[in-house]
Structure 1
Amino acid sequence: MSSSDEDFSLVVMSPSQPAEDSLEGIKASIMKFKKQHEQLLRDQKELAASRDDLRGSAQQFRLRSEKLTLSLKEDKNSNKEVIAKEKAKLTSLKEQEAELMKQIQKVDDDLNEEKAEYDILKQQTDVFRAVPEKKVVFMGSTGNEGDALFEMKPRIVYPMEGGTALITFEEEVVAKKILDMPKHEVNLGGECKITVEAKPVHLIVPKLVEIESEVCPRRILISNLPKMDTEPLLMKLEIHFSKTKHGGGEVDDREFLPDSGTVVLTFLRKDIARELTEREYHEVTLQSGKKNHRVRVTPFLSGQITNLKTKMSVCPRTVLLTGIPTIMERETLQDLLEIHFQKNCNGGGEITAFLYNPLGENTTALFKGVSENKGGQEEA
């Protein structure tokens, strides 16, 4: 038989397996499908259980998520409140810091003022300590509290021209009479006569002097010294205060002040003077064979004139004679002039000082104690 005439399949049946279209086969298929159905039901139940478990887990996760979301929201709100409180604290601290800075600045300003006042008081103390001890009698006038007033007696150097003379009379009225007669004929003996002119003496005197003083860092003032020759005294003091065991150092300069009887020593280093003045009193060997002498060391004040007011003052007792020719010896001519102006008949009177300067020579007169009101003076 050919394949084109009829299709057929050959099924080889196992002797133990019934044919599908047989009753036995149909039963076997039913049993098979039944088992499969049961398996599917079991699988379906397991899937349903798994689905329920997953749904429960999802529900739990959803609840936990909602709880966490709520917690995060609460934390966020709480953090906002904390941040707001911290910001408020920070703002308060900044305000407190600013206030403290103002207080610190005020304290610094007060300290600077106190320091400036302390420096001024210390400088005044140093100035007061720098004045050597000396007994004085107050004969001036008092002023306002805090004013430091000193009465000075000026020493004025007056340069004289050649051919002039200065006469100081004992009484002012005599000087006035001489000035009222500007031309004076002086008889020098025999037929020798000269004519001189009398003029008032004008001096520029200080009316107000303001001095700013400060302590010199390299100088000391030594007082309470015995009376002895100047050079040996300076040598002994320099030797003593140049030794380091006495707190001294190398001396750069030394000077004796005759007006006050004190000595000024200048050191090369600046720190020596302060250490010596802080100790103040020192035992110094000044004379051989005698015990040590106790001297006082104080700061040296250097002053600078900050304000000077002057006025023109006329000497009431002194007269300037001009036009004196050189016709004889200086002493002789001076004596003749002095004799002439002592005589009452010539309008003169008692003379306390007379100074003659011939032509071609230079002479200076020293006026002492010229006061603003009285005008008293002496010539040297």
Structure 2
Amino acid sequence: MIDTDHCGTSKDEIEGLKEELKKWKERIERAEKANTHLLCCKLSAEEECIKAEEELVKLKDFQEEQHKGNIKSRSNREAEVFLLSQENAELKREIEKLKEELAECNAVLSRDGRIKKKVAEKKVKFSHMEDMKDDYQDMNTHCVFGVTTKVPFRLNQNQALLTFEDEEVAQRLIKMGKHTVNLDNKTADVTVRPFTLEMGIKFELHVTISGKAINVAEVPELCIPEDWMRDKLELNFYKSEQGGGGEVENVSYDKHSRTAVITFLRPGAANSFVRCTKYPFFVNGSCYRLSVFPKTNVRLEQFQLYCGISKKTILLKGIQEMEDDEESIQDMIEIHFQKPSNSGGEIERIKYVSKGGAWVCFEEDT
């Protein structure tokens, strides 16, 4: 028999209805939460929209104020924009140049800390000979070469470099920053700036020419043991027919490279071979010609890197183009900056470029 209430509904049906009601309540709660979240998002979006409208109004007001407050003429604005674009392009070139210098500096530094730097080939000239300070002579020839590289600087169009005799004049003009120059009854506002030089190097090259040893090359290939070849070389240079040589202390022979080092016992014995480029070598009834040249020891000392700002030189920028030729404009600039009334002074050198560019080399100021 099934239990029913007074309305004729069974208990199971009532329980089912309760579960259904519970589910609907949960759905309503979730819907209310979603609705609340959407309302919050709507309010937030409205606030953002109001802020954006306020910012837009401010921006429009700012643009109107700028437009109303701009009292400069169109030509002046265009000239200012042109100068700024020139300075911007120049700064970009300087940045690229600095990047290249940084890459070069990183490249020349090897892992063991040594510095590798390419140095242009230079011709040297013998000037004088000095006696050794020691009480005895070692019969070696000692040479010392001082090498200092020139530092290049690129001078661009409508720029000038002025080097003054007095450092104070250059520093005074740099502190002024800008200067009005009179050029052929015309005035030009130019910028006075210092400039940083690129990296330069200087070092001493010490060369010692041995008075006891010589290098020998082009030793003939013979089917004899190496110790026999050493003995024949020793005997050949011991019995020199050209007035040189003497008792041999040691013979270092390399069969693969066909070279040898002959070391004499008497100091100064190798000096007689200085001007001898080919030397006769008699062996097994044949005569060969050996290449003979001094044995040298080369070492580099006091290697230094230097860079900095030239204290006596200034860089002029923004010189206006004129119809006069480059030499005439350079003379006018020099005359202007030589006058003390223009905060100038005596000029050692001047270089002005009206078109293109030019490289100017600086040497270390000793």
TM-score by length of 2: 0.36
Bigger radius of gyration:
1
TM-score by length of 1: 0.35
